[in-house]
Structure 1
Amino acid sequence: MKIENLKFQYFFWGAFFIFITGVVSGIVVVYSMHDQDWLESSEILVNNKVGFEASLGIFMRNIGVAVILASGLLLFGLPTLIVLFINGLWIGTVIASRLAEGVSLATLLLKLLPHGVFELPALLLAGAIGLKGFVFYYEPKKGWRLYFRLTGWIILMLLVAALIEGFVTSVV
């Protein structure tokens, strides 16, 4: 298979795999540590703001992450690899530490799923754009139209996710 024939979906699934590897690593790290004091300090990971202020902060943070992820398109995919893994590691650590503290799986799902169904695909799309950096300079057609269209979808999904996180999941 020639490099220019690689489909975008492969990069999306590659981004998903890197992210999931980070999630699993975060879970393993938490469960391999037996320091109870560290687990109790995980409360600092919680956003205490609600409403518009929370939504705006969440949206701006996620846009920054998406820009870094997509920057891999021009930087040979390197920042994308690192940020996807680290974000997965962070999510895995939060999930595992909350479960270790006794938070129910149902409560975690109520906190993560409402906004996560928009946020995670948006960040994975940005990651797929960034992973395209591995072959971008070798492709005769750069596909700018696709990247701009995806950028619009990413922004829209991150906006919806931030509003849901700020107004819904922050009060659950």
Structure 2
Amino acid sequence: MNDGSRRARFGAFVREYTVREALTDAWDEHRGYVGFATALFLVGVIIGIALVLAGYNLIEFMLELLDEELVVDEEMMGEGGQEIELSAQFFVLQNTPPFVLSILGAVTIGLLTVAIMVFNGVLVGNIAYAIGQETGFGLILALLLPHGIFELPALFIAAGVGFRLLHRFVQRVRGTREAFVTKPYLYRTGILVLLGYCMLLLAAFIEAYVTIAVAELLFPSEF
């Protein structure tokens, strides 16, 4: 089959199964798994808060983690050599691995995906609660909500896809599903993943260029 024929067949398939229909079907199929991923994250948040109440905070650990990830060159340094520009590219590079690994975690029978969701929840809950006790929780919300309303759902979508892939594989092994994946499944799931990643990109731009500005506007005395 030549490339022209393949493109024609794909075009006919897309016309018959529109992006809107595919996205609706994908969400209907994955929303329970996305909900499960969200629940895991919230469990992590509760654990993180419990750690603060027990006298442990992970701020120092997070700073060390960020320090290891930062690749600093002369163009990213301020005049004094101390200031690092947290650009949208930085946040994209930081958030893309957990997004991808949350999907690929299906090959670890979901254990990696579970770990990513809970670990991120622990970090967010612990650090937000620890800092919030000192600065007030209004500031914390201002620093988290603008980008978090896009970033977190994006990660939950990725995890939901990973869990659904695992479930489909189990169904195939048990013989309750004829095929592990099908062309319509790959098409609609690919659209859902693309939507999730676009949300992640949007979150990166907001975190780099909007979040701080909003926080400064709402809480000028803290800056």
Q: Residues 156 and 32 of structure 1: is their aligned pair in 2 closer, same or farther, counting only changes over 3 Å?
A: same
Per the alignment, residue 3 of structure 1 pairs with: none
Query: Once the two structures are aligned, what percentage of the paired residues are identical?
Result: 25
How many pairs does the alignment contain? 161
Q: Greater relative contact order (Cα 8 A, min sep 6): structure 1 or 2? A: 1
- 1:24 equivalent among 46, 64, 68: 46
Alpha-carbon deviation of 1:10? 1.2
Q: Provide TM-score, normalisation by structure 2.
A: 0.65
Extract unaligned runs of 5+ from structure 1. Answer: 1-5
Q: Deviations over 1:8-57 (max 9, x none)?
A: 21101100110100011001111111x6xx6885883889744xx52111
- Asked if 1:104 is matched to 2:123, the reply is no
- Report SS of the residue matched to 2:116: helix
Per the alignment, residue 170 of structure 1 pairs with: 212
Equivalent residue runs for 1:22-171 within 5 Å: 22-33=44-55, 41=60, 44=63, 49-50=84-85, 53-100=86-133, 102-137=134-169, 138=171, 139-141=177-179, 142=181, 143-171=185-213
Extract unaligned runs of 5+ from structure 2. Answer: 1-27, 68-82, 172-176, 216-223
Q: Residues of 2 paired with 1:18 and 1:104: CA distance?
A: 26
Q: Residues of 1 paired with 2:97 and 2:60: CA distance?
A: 26
**Quick one: which amino acid aligns to residue 41 of structure 2?**
F
Q: Residues of 2 paired with 1:160 and 1:41: CA distance?
A: 28
**Quick one: which amino acid aligns to residue 170 of structure 1?**
I
Alpha-carbon deviation of 1:95? 1.0
Q: Residues 140 and 94 of structure 1: is their aligned pair in 2 closer, same or farther, counting only changes over 3 Å?
A: farther
- Aligned-CA RMSD value: 2.5
Q: Residues of 2 paired with 1:145 and 1:40: CA distance?
A: 41
Q: Provide TM-score, normalisation by structure 1.
A: 0.82
Q: Residues of 1 paired with 2:190 and 2:62: CA distance?
A: 38
